[in-house]
Amino acid sequence: MTSPAPSAVCSSVLDLAPVVPVVVLEDAADAVPLARALVAGGLPAIEVTLRTAAALDAIRAIASEVPGAVVGAGTVISPAHVTGTVAAGARFLVSPGWTDVLLEAMKASGVPFLPGVSTTSEVVALLERGITEMKFFPAEAAGGTAYLKALSSPLPQARFCPTGGISLASAPSYLALPNVGCVGGSWMVPADAVADRDWARVERLAAEASALGRG
């Protein structure tokens, strides 16, 4: 099955769902059932991190076999990552940080992307370059909700997907902020559930996450 063009899916990663699952897969054979469980639970945007050798095959499998999923690539840190993941079917890109070289490659990819920031200067530098949507990472370690709230007044045009240390309990406080579009997290894909291939549990946890509202 051919994946729809990114522009046909969405113009913004931040508006797909309140939570983007951050997935680490050791076995690409788990990619499709895991993605189906997440989609069934109401989380269509799935970030597959490039932390394992199985990542590209996992992205390729989800893109071709799970039409309800919007699969993206995380831990993108080089132009080679950009071209490789987009060729595999990634519909969005997420980086833990950025350089001008990486930013240009992501811009040229034709898919939505979230460059990572953790300081005010990095946010301003991206705004200078016309980028208004970013990943805030590592969210909890970098100042959490207090830091993002402080940024919202002087830099209201910047919108974020905070990721790093966020849980079901803490996610609502992030989602209540005016400059947060969604959060990234891995609590709905716990390692033991993936190892046990307990897709029903993943679906239940995804449903809890997808139900998170603002305020």
Q: What per-residue confidence (pLDDT) applies to 199?
A: 98
Tokens 């996992």 sit on residue: 58
Q: Name 113's bridge partners.
A: 93
Is 107 assigned a catalytic role?
no
Report the pLDDT averaged over residues 144-153. Answer: 98
Q: What is the pLDDT of residues 14-29, one digit of tens each?
A: 988 899 999 999 999 9
**Residue 11 in this model has a pLDDT that exceeds 90:** no
Cα–Cα nearest to 16, from 182, 204, 212: 182
Q: What is the pLDDT of residues 117-136, one digit of tens each?
A: 999 999 999 999 999 999 99
Which of 60-64's residues contact partners 24+ apart within 8 Å by CB, and which partners? 60/88, 60/89, 61/28, 61/31, 61/32, 62/31, 62/32, 62/35, 62/89, 63/3, 63/88, 63/89, 63/90, 63/91, 64/1, 64/3, 64/89
Q: What is the pLDDT of residues 53-62, one digit of tens each?
A: 999 999 999 9
Catalytic residue among 128, 135, 149, 208: 135
Evaluate if pTM is beyond 0.75.
yes
Task: For residue 60, give the H/E element and its range.
Answer: helix 55-65
Is 135 assigned a catalytic role?
yes
**Residue 187 in this model has a pLDDT that exceeds 90:** yes
What are the structure tokens assigned to 113, written together? 């992307």
